[in-house]
């Protein structure tokens, strides 16, 4: 089979061995239909690939072609959404444990389902923010992840205020009547007015760039005992005096939820007890699919740019060289 890798700061298509279900009763073999490029994560890997080879991708969907003996919730021919490296990459075939996929209903567009990894990450970020009904969430950084968080928060009836330097990204949310700004001053005024001067309950930082002045600024936007949630690739450089004055909480949102990077949950496909860990990364994937099924969120603006598998290296190059400002691209498999 073919797979996409980063090697020496170039993206290549290589031939690799076809995965098999041998000795893996709790896995399914999937023929990939679509996978989603996550520019932030994957371009970072590309930049770090000097004298190294990294497999790219972590969010996809496809058709089940074979099931392990312990699989009971899907069958051959079903469509599933799946998330999480090293099981999900930009590969023609994927071998995925039962804890990392969700069945895709007939009513859900397969292209939308391919964003399931990003959807799970967005959902987990909001869970980490631990907001209650009616509270105010400020979303800073409107790449595809920030956009998804804003849309899902809006669907949950939180009071959403969003910000990005890019007016075009801001306008994408304005089309859904989500309060959003490309000016910090305008955003600050909205926070003041909509919270009666108290401040937002949480700020979710979805930007990149490691060290960012936003880690200082966001503490001015939250209420006393409010929360700053790091979602993007930012160093947690928060001044003690501002945190002390607000008794602010700093929270880190890691990937798609509990289970990520746990070999027992992922590799061995042993789920956490439902009554003790309500929302795992796999259950967050299911929740994203439910939101699509019930038309709670509209992700169609993110799936307009579709490239064939063989053309993907060129598209990565455009993203890496900043010749493309797209939020994400879908890779289509034959």
What sections of 247-297 are H helices per DSSP? Answer: 281-293
State the DSSP H helix or E strand holding residue 79, giving kind and residue range, or none if neither. strand 79-83
Alpha-carbon span 299 to 288, nearest angstrom: 11
Say if residues 53 and 42 touch (Cβ distance below 8 Å).
no
Compute the average pLDDT of residues 252-263: 95
Torsion of CA 261, 36, 39, 321, to 10 degrees: 140
Kindly state the tokens that stand for 321: 């060289």
Q: What is the pLDDT of residue 93?
A: 98
DSSP secondary structure code for residue 89 in this structure: S
Phi/psi for 84 (5° steps) reads 115, 110
101 CB contacts (<8 Å, ≥6 apart)?
28, 30, 74, 80, 81, 82, 83, 282, 285
Closest CA to 199 of 239, 159, 169: 159
pLDDT classification of 211: cutoffs 50, 70, 90:
low
Alpha-carbon span 280 to 120, nearest angstrom: 9
More confident residue, 320 or 42: 42
Instruction: Return the axis-axis angle of helices 144-155 and 167-174, rounded to nearest 10°.
Output: 20
174 CB contacts (<8 Å, ≥6 apart)?
180
State the DSSP H helix or E strand holding residue 83, giving kind and residue range, or none if neither. strand 79-83
Alpha-carbon span 147 to 290, nearest angstrom: 18
More confident residue, 19 or 215: 19
pLDDT classification of 257: cutoffs 50, 70, 90:
very high
**pLDDT 10s digits, 163-201:** 999 999 999 998 888 999 999 999 999 999 999 999 999
Say if residues 47 and 56 touch (Cβ distance below 8 Å).
no
pLDDT classification of 4: cutoffs 50, 70, 90:
very high
| CB atoms inside a 10 Å sphere around CB 208 | 16
More confident residue, 334 or 282: 282
**Domains in the chain, ordered, with CATH?**
2-115+259-332 (3.90.180.10), 128-252 (3.40.50.720)
Alpha-carbon span 13 to 91, nearest angstrom: 9
Closest CA to 239 of 212, 201, 207: 212
Compute the average pLDDT of residues 298-314: 94
Q: What is the pLDDT of residue 318?
A: 83
pLDDT classification of 292: cutoffs 50, 70, 90:
very high
**pLDDT 10s digits, 126-164:** 999 999 999 999 999 999 999 999 999 999 999 999 999
* Average pLDDT of the residues of the chain: 93
pLDDT classification of 233: cutoffs 50, 70, 90:
confident
Q: What is the pLDDT of residue 302?
A: 92
State the residue for tokens 């098999």: 20
Kindly state the tokens that stand for 257: 């939820």
**pLDDT 10s digits, 307-331:** 999 999 998 888 877 655 678 999 9
Q: What is the pLDDT of residue 323?
A: 58
Alpha-carbon span 148 to 150, nearest angstrom: 5
């Amino acid at each position: 089979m073919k797979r996409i890798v980063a090697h020496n700061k170039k993206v290549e298509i290589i031939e690799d061995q076809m995965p098999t279900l041998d000795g893996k009763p709790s896995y399914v073999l999937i023929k990939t239909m679509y996978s989603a490029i996550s520019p932030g994560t994957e371009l970072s890997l590309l930049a770090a690939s000097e004298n190294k080879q990294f497999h790219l991708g972590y969010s996809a969907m496809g058709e089940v072609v074979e099931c392990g003996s312990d699989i009971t919730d899907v069958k051959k021919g079903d469509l599933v959404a799946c998330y999480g490296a090293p099981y999900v990459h930009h590969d023609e075939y994927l071998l995925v444990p039962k804890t990392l996929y969700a069945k895709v209903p007939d009513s859900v567009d397969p292209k939308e389902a391919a964003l399931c990894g990003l959807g799970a990450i967005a959902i987990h970020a909001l869970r980490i923010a631990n907001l209650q009904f009616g509270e105010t969430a400020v979303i800073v950084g409107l790449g595809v992840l920030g956009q998804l968080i804003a849309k899902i928060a809006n669907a949950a009836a939180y009071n959403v205020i969003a910000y990005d330097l890019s007016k075009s990204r801001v306008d994408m949310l304005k089309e859904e009547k989500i309060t959003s700004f490309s000016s910090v001053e305008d955003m600050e005024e909205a926070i003041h007015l909509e919270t009666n001067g108290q401040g937002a309950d949480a700020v979710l930082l979805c930007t990149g760039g490691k060290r960012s002045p936003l880690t200082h600024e966001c503490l001015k936007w939250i209420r006393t005992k409010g929360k700053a949630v790091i979602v993007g690739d930012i160093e947690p450089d928060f001044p003690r005096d501002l945190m002390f004055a607000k008794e602010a909480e700093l929270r880190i949102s890691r990937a798609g939820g509990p289970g990520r990077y746990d070999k027992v949950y992922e590799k061995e496909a042993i789920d956490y007890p439902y009554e003790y860990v309500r929302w795992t990364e796999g259950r967050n994937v299911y929740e994203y699919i439910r939101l699509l099924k019930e038309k709670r969120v509209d992700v169609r603006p993110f799936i307009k740019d579709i490239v064939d598998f063989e053309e993907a290296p060129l598209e990565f190059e455009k993203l890496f060289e900043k010749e493309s400002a797209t939020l994400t691209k879908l890779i289509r498999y034959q």
